């Protein structure tokens, strides 16, 4: 299964018309599915600019630079710089590793003929949420934190999607989800 296929389907029509291209956003990709099922699957992933090898190299380069600066500071008379660097290097390396590891979070949204399925990848004990397509609404909330939040809601239950995306990608996701659901949902968004 190729996870890098960009969305190239018109989301306004059901089933989608592959002759009309939607702008490609690398953080939102469409997984290949069988056309006869009428299923659309979106994979949401954060922008991960560095792979594991590049993160390791960056960490080593930052550590070497910190050691060089600490050596020059010690040569200039600052006896605390090397000790501070011995504390700083593991903290910086751990921070880089944690940030890179959290960049592996993904969400899979599958729109079927009768349900919307939201999965967190990797699962790690997280429950899969499903909503009936006919009653699912897409809402964009502004909670005052400077970010937009895309929420799928049905029957009093809500699930935020696109947490790992930036604001522009979240707004694009909300437009695509509204368009995908508009042909199948009884709800009309304002």
- Locate CATH 2.30.29 in the chain: 28-46+106-182
DSSP code per residue over the chain = --TTPBP-S-SSSSS--TTSPPPPBTTEEEPP--GGGT-EEEEE-----S-HHHHHHHHHHHHHHHHHHHHHHHHTT-SSHHHHHHHHHHHHHHHHHHHHHHTT-EEEEEE-SSEEEEEEES-TTPPPEEEEGGG-EEEEEE-SSS-EEEEEEETTEEEEE-TTS-HHHHHHHHHHHHHHHHTT-S----
122 vs 114 pLDDT, higher one: 114
pLDDT for 32: 65
pLDDT for 185: 45
Establish how many alpha carbons lie within 13 A of residue 74's alpha carbon, considering only the half-sphere containing its beta carbon.
Answer: 14
**CATH fold group of domain 28-46+106-182:** PH-domain like (2.30.29)
DSSP code per residue over 165-183 = S-HHHHHHHHHHHHHHHHT
- pLDDT of 125 higher than 80: no
Among 20-24, 69-73, 120-124, the range scoring the smallest mean pLDDT is 20-24
pLDDT for 70: 95
The per-residue pLDDT for range 8-45, each reduced to its tens digit, is: 333 433 334 444 444 444 788 877 665 667 788 888 88
90 vs 164 pLDDT, higher one: 90
pLDDT for 102: 81
pLDDT for 34: 57
Q: What is the pTM of this model?
A: 0.67
Q: Do 33 and 41 touch, CB atoms closer than 8 A?
A: yes
- pLDDT of 88 higher than 90: yes
d(CA 83, CA 60): 18
């Amino acid at each position: 299964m190729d996870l890098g296929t960009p969305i190239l389907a018109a989301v306004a029509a059901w089933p989608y018309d592959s002759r009309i291209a939607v702008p490609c956003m690398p953080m939102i990709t469409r997984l290949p599915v069988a056309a006869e099922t009428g299923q659309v699957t979106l994979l949401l992933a954060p922008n991960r600019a560095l792979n594991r090898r590049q993160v390791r190299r960056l960490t080593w380069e930052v550590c070497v630079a910190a050691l060089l600066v600490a050596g020059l500071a010690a040569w200039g008379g600052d006896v605390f710089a090397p000790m501070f660097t011995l504390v700083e290097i593991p903290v910086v390396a751990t921070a880089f590793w944690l940030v890179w590891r959290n960049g592996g979070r993904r969400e899979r949204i599958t729109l079927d003929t009768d349900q919307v399925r939201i999965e967190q990848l990797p699962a790690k004990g997280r429950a899969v949420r499903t909503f009936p397509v006919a009653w699912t609404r897409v809402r964009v909330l502004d909670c005052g934190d400077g970010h937009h939040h895309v929420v799928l809601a049905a029957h009093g239950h809500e699930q935020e999607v696109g947490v790992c995306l930036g604001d522009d990608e979240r707004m694009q996701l909300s437009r695509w989800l509204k368009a995908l659901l508009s042909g199948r949902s009884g709800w009309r968004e304002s």
